[in-house]
């Protein structure tokens, strides 16, 4: 009898465990399907919010009130990336948190796993289109990184950096004054930032053509560095 009860108990426990595992798998499957559906709906409704959520899902630490206008490209170690509050990032910006070149080096120990480094972006920054960040760099608050820059060094607060490799160009106040007083600054009472993406294409085309119909294009600089007028 004891043997029968023992076998019966083993059978009941096995079936119970099987049903529990099956149920949990179905719950996880449902969560995955729901998450996939939710992300698709978010992409249709608000692509900027989708870009931010996608970055967080990959492991990056993203602050509040950020705006990502395109998908970000992360190395597998996205959890080594931190992006501060109120930062704006253009499209195709890459965060490379490892350097595979070390695999070519042999120090005789044979235990090299890789070279890794954190990347930290401060608050209130703007990161231009197709910027590349390499491992172990940080930029301070209120910085601007020009499009196409390759950031290999760290920079302090209020820096404007540009180039490959990126170099300090000016402080942010000088850049602000030059842009706010430039003929290239376009204002719109109907579609101000952050609603600039809502403007109809034809309306934007007409607005810009009218704005620039009499504005001269910047002329080349002379060898001495002064603009030819």
Residues of the chain whose pLDDT is less than 70? 1-45, 224-229
Quick check: helix, strand or coil at residue 64? coil
Q: How much is the pLDDT for 109? A: 78
Question: CA–CA separation, 218 vs 212, rounded Å?
Answer: 12
The answer to whether residues 68 and 89 touch, using CB atoms and an 8 Å cutoff, is yes
| Parallel, antiparallel or unpaired: strands 115-116 and 98-99 | antiparallel
Q: How much is the pLDDT for 205? A: 94
Task: Round to the nearest angstrom and report the end-to-end CA distance of the chain.
Answer: 107
Q: How much is the pLDDT for 4? A: 59
Q: How much is the pLDDT for 154? A: 97
Q: How much is the pLDDT for 228? A: 43
User: Please, which residues bridge with residue 127 across strands?
Assistant: 89, 145
- 172 contacts: CB under 8 Å, gap ≥ 6: 142, 143, 144, 158, 159, 160
DSSP states of 13-61: HHHHHHHHHHHHHHHHHHHHHHHHHHHHHHHHH-HHHHHHHHHHHTT-E
Q: How much is the pLDDT for 8? A: 58
Question: CA–CA separation, 203 vs 6, rounded Å?
Answer: 80
* Token pair for 26: 């179905």
Can you give the pTM of this predicted structure? 0.78
Question: CA–CA separation, 141 vs 130, rounded Å?
Answer: 20
pLDDT tens string 145-168: 999 999 999 999 999 999 999 999
Q: Which of 54, 83, 59, 56 is nearest to 71 (CA)?
A: 54
pLDDT tens string 69-107: 988 999 999 999 999 999 999 989 999 999 988 888 877
Q: How much is the pLDDT for 50? A: 86
């Amino acid at each position: 009898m004891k043997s029968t009860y023992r076998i019966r108990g083993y059978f009941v426990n096995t079936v119970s465990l099987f049903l529990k595992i099956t149920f949990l798998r179905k719950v996880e499957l449902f969560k995955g399907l729901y998450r996939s559906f939710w992300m698709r709906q978010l992409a249709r409704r608000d692509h900027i919010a989708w870009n931010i959520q996608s970055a967080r899902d990959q492991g990056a630490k993203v602050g509040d009130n950020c705006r990502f206008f395109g998908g970000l490209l992360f190395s597998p170690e996205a959890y080594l990336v931190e992006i501060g509050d109120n930062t704006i990032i253009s499209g195709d910006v890459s965060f490379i948190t490892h350097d595979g070149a070390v695999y070519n080096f042999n120090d005789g120990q044979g235990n090299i796993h890789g070279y890794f480094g954190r990347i930290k972006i401060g608050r209130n920054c703007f990161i231009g289109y197709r910027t590349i960040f390499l491992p172990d760099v940080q930029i301070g608050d209120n910085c601007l990184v020009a499009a196409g820059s390759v950031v290999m060094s760290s920079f302090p607060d209020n820096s404007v950096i540009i180039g490959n490799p990126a170099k300090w160009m000016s402080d942010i106040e000088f850049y602000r004054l030059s842009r706010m007083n430039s003929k290239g600054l376009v204002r719109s009472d109907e579609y101000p930032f952050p609603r600039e993406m809502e403007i109809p294409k034809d309306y934007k085309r007409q607005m810009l053509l009218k704005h620039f119909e009499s504005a001269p294009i910047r002329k080349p600089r002379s060898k001495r560095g002064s603009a030819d007028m």
